[in-house]
Structure 1
């Protein structure tokens, strides 16, 4: 039996496009960006460790610098803000804080909290750095998609960018060793419509066995 679609959700999903031409005079407040990110943090994450971090760049001079780091992409400078999605390779160090809050909010009991904290300390610190970065990158993808949809629901346009010099970004913004850049999100108001895009047929991407 096919469930009736949530028209609002599907409307937003289909309306969201990657916008690269922005109105440079349109500005989004810090408060609204904070609200968007907070709503997006409902995304799932590995062991609920929430390995995502964000750097929001609104300063115009800094955006000019970032444009040079990001292959001269115009939307870096003309969008209202650029949200840098970062990963935390030491996500396990927040496990006590997160699971204590879980208990305080009534999501679980002390026994589950203690067991989860113990298991986390026995596994994550000993996992290879590459594995922990992969976990953080995967989780960053989940929250990024939520952020894009929430922004669209609020009337804003976005585009994600992976084409930037990550080493130069790390140096310019003095990221600590365990924090690494994953993607950039330009957010603002479109000044020109985005291109549509096609999708591969389902039978080329899905196999049932």
Structure 2
């Protein structure tokens, strides 16, 4: 019975989450809640559990005004409660020892498995081309971004993702290290107008079962 209820709740959240572009500029989400949303979203999977995502949460009004110019003048950048910049870490392997030591401490694996995972990671990731590592980080950022938006909706907030912004200017303005790069911006807040509905292609057009 509980499983059915949980599934229904999930499907409702999935259907209700829309890309909202008009926000109440007077509504502010407490930082503690933004922290909860991001923390909960980190249960998303990632390549080799390296968690190659980073976040820059922009709440300051003056900074949001600056960001709007970088983001093709999209209104929601300035009127939403906050903009969560989801960043990728192309040197995700550097924290492998910390991550797998924590896995052992929390009882998820033994020392032998930890040592094997660390060894494999340090053998494969540092020698992989930068483009490959950036692709991995971008994929993982996409996974956590969707999870983050669903969690925000469950809490009663609206979101929209934005890929249309000047990534070079963003990196320069926020002084990102060379190995950290922007992937998407997520505006989050309280919608002030309903989102447009949108159609989806029929299953037969997108899936083949063999």
Q: With the length of structure 2 as denominator, give the TM-score of the two structures.
A: 0.97
Structure 1 equivalent of residue 100 of structure 2: 99
Secondary structure in structure 2 of the residue aligned to 1:125:
coil
Which digits, 9 at most, give the CA deviation of each residue in 1:117-176, with x for residues without a partner?
001010000000000000000000100000000000000000000000000000000000
Structure 2 residues without counterparts, runs of 5 or longer: none
Secondary structure in structure 1 of the residue aligned to 2:126:
helix
Alignment of 1:122-141 (within 5 A): 122-141=123-142
State the shift of 1:4 in Å. 5.0
* d(CA) in 1 for partners of 2:184, 2:62: 20
* d(CA) in 1 for partners of 2:14, 2:121: 35
* d(CA) in 1 for partners of 2:203, 2:10: 21
Alignment of 1:143-158 (within 5 A): 143-158=144-159
Which digits, 9 at most, give the CA deviation of each residue in 1:74-112, with x for residues without a partner?
000000000000000000001000000000000000000
State the shift of 1:40 in Å. 0.2
Structure 2 equivalent of residue 72 of structure 1: 73
* d(CA) in 2 for partners of 1:86, 1:39: 17
* d(CA) in 2 for partners of 1:23, 1:34: 21
Structure 2 equivalent of residue 20 of structure 1: 21
Secondary structure in structure 2 of the residue aligned to 1:102:
helix
Equivalenced residues, count: 207
Secondary structure in structure 1 of the residue aligned to 2:125:
helix
Which digits, 9 at most, give the CA deviation of each residue in 1:23-62, with x for residues without a partner?
0000001110000000000000000000000000000000
Alignment of 1:28-177 (within 5 A): 28-177=29-178
Alignment of 1:177-192 (within 5 A): 177-192=178-193
* d(CA) in 2 for partners of 1:45, 1:72: 32
Structure 1 residues without counterparts, runs of 5 or longer: none
Q: CA RMSD in A?
A: 0.9
* d(CA) in 2 for partners of 1:29, 1:178: 30
Secondary structure in structure 2 of the residue aligned to 1:126:
coil
* d(CA) in 2 for partners of 1:122, 1:190: 47
* d(CA) in 2 for partners of 1:43, 1:123: 22
